Amino acid sequence: MASENTARGGEQTAETTSENTQPVTGPRRRGRAPVALPVRLEAVHATYSAHLARAPLSAETRRTYASKVRGYLAWLAQATTDGLVDGDPLTDPHARDWAVRDYRTHLAAILKRSNATVNNALAAIDDFYTRTGLGPAHADRLDLPTLAPRALDGDKAILRWLRAVRSTPSARDRALALTPFYAGARIAETVRLDLDDITRSARKGTIRFYGKGGKPRDMELHPELREAYTAWIDGERPAWPGAATNPAVFLNHRGGRLTARGASDVFTTILATAGLDDHATAHVLRHTFATRLVRGGTDLVVVADMLGHTTLDHIRRYTLPTPADRREALKHLPIDR
């Protein structure tokens, strides 16, 4: 089940259809049915979800935590069946610690998840155990690699992306796809946009995003993004269902607000058309936006403000080496042929 935004920063309702406007030629990253759990663990997950619903967290964080905890509980069910768990990790702190450490190993060594992904899962599991009364597990986080966040790798990859966007027939999808690249927006911030968040004059424009916790930030509209928004808002959008009554900038084909999941499907399709690898996502485009600004000499305080970060800690990551930097460094080594 996909989810539908009903209010800025608020809860979301269910939506079941995909928002692809053309066949997906790449792997689907979203939209899969939740993994099944045994009855007991399904009840545990339902109780945790009820706690999350009352927590002062964003809708995106609640969804992420619920999903990662479901993955942990599914692993726990299988590990228990296989006799790999001693005690009850849901009631015994000692068993909890060993189970979480073993799950950490499972994610890193068996599933080959990145250290950052593993640490995010551990944060969700800590939240789960805290809200259900047992307290966080004693499981160390993995060291994060000293590399910049993943961005599109070089000018050629960026040009392939932009050309794939331009070849997309839907004005909605073109405007959607260019938003993280030209405005550094998260996908959830993008689908949350209302028409009155965008102002346009003859040559300029601004866009207001609502980030984590509903915090607003204003951005100048890049000329390319302004053109794409004009083509969608003034050109195609008025003919779509719901255009006259729904304030959402990005509509789905039934006149509702496009969901983050539906938007992700659009990105998946365009990224596949561009021939980019499976790890490219809308968030990689946001990282590309930040990387280009930082590498171009933009003050880190300005970049932090444009991305909606309150500290420079996240922004300093973009000054770290990239895989491309390391490949370039190897070219300085001589060879003998």
Active-site annotation holds for 283:
yes
- What pLDDT is recorded for position 5? 40
Helix (H/G/I), strand (E/B), else coil: 279? coil
| Domains in the chain with CATH codes | 2-14+33-131 (no CATH), 154-326 (1.10.443.10)
Among 129, 210, 229, 318, the one annotated catalytic: 318
Distances from the Cα of 186 to the Cα of 84, 166, 268, angstroms: 39, 21, 15
Query: 38 with 46: CB under 8 angstroms?
Result: no
Active-site annotation holds for 94:
no
Work out the pLDDT band at 266, boundaries 50, 70, 90.
very high
Distances from the Cα of 314 to the Cα of 58, 180, 333, angstroms: 19, 17, 33
Active-site annotation holds for 210:
no
Structure tokens, 235: 């050109």
> What are the backbone angles phi and psi of residue 60, rounded to the nearest 5°?
-65, -40
- What pLDDT is recorded for position 279? 62
Among 217, 286, 287, 292, the one annotated catalytic: 286
Integer Cα distance of 70 and 36 in angstroms: 9
Among 106, 283, 295, 317, the one annotated catalytic: 283
3 pLDDT above the threshold of 70: no
- What pLDDT is recorded for position 253? 93
- What pLDDT is recorded for position 147? 62
Q: Please state, for a pLDDT cut of 90, what percent of the chain lies above it.
A: 48
Work out the pLDDT band at 151, boundaries 50, 70, 90.
confident
Strand order in the sheet with 216-220: 198-200, 205-210, 216-220
- What pLDDT is recorded for position 121? 94
Number of residues that make up the chain: 337
Among 8, 131, 160, 212, the one annotated catalytic: 212
Integer Cα distance of 26 and 275 in angstroms: 9
Among 174, 186, 226, 292, the one annotated catalytic: 186
Determine the average pLDDT of the residues in 213-236: 91
**Pairwise pLDDT comparison (235 vs 19), residue with the higher score:** 235
Helix (H/G/I), strand (E/B), else coil: 312? coil
- What pLDDT is recorded for position 148? 60
Condensed to tens digits (0 to 9), the pLDDT of residues 273-300 reads 888 765 667 888 888 888 888 888 888 8
- What pLDDT is recorded for position 291? 84
- What pLDDT is recorded for position 32? 59
230 pLDDT above the threshold of 90: yes
DSSP 274: T
Active-site annotation holds for 106:
no
Query: 278 with 27: CB under 8 angstroms?
Result: yes
- What pLDDT is recorded for position 303? 83
Work out the pLDDT band at 123, boundaries 50, 70, 90.
very high
Tokens 């509209």, located at residue: 221
Condensed to tens digits (0 to 9), the pLDDT of residues 11-41 reads 333 333 334 333 333 333 444 567 889 999 9
- What pLDDT is recorded for position 280? 67
* Count of C-beta atoms within a 10 Å radius of residue 97: 15
The alpha carbon of 256 is separated from its chain's Cα centroid by a whole number of angstroms, namely 21
- Averaged pLDDT score across all residues of the chain: 83
- The amino acid that residue 279 corresponds to is H
Determine the average pLDDT of the residues in 77-82: 93
Query: 259 with 268: CB under 8 angstroms?
Result: no
- Comparing C-alpha atoms, which of 40, 138, 39 is closest to residue 88? 40
Work out the pLDDT band at 115, boundaries 50, 70, 90.
confident
Active-site annotation holds for 54:
no
Active-site annotation holds for 45:
no
- What pLDDT is recorded for position 10? 39
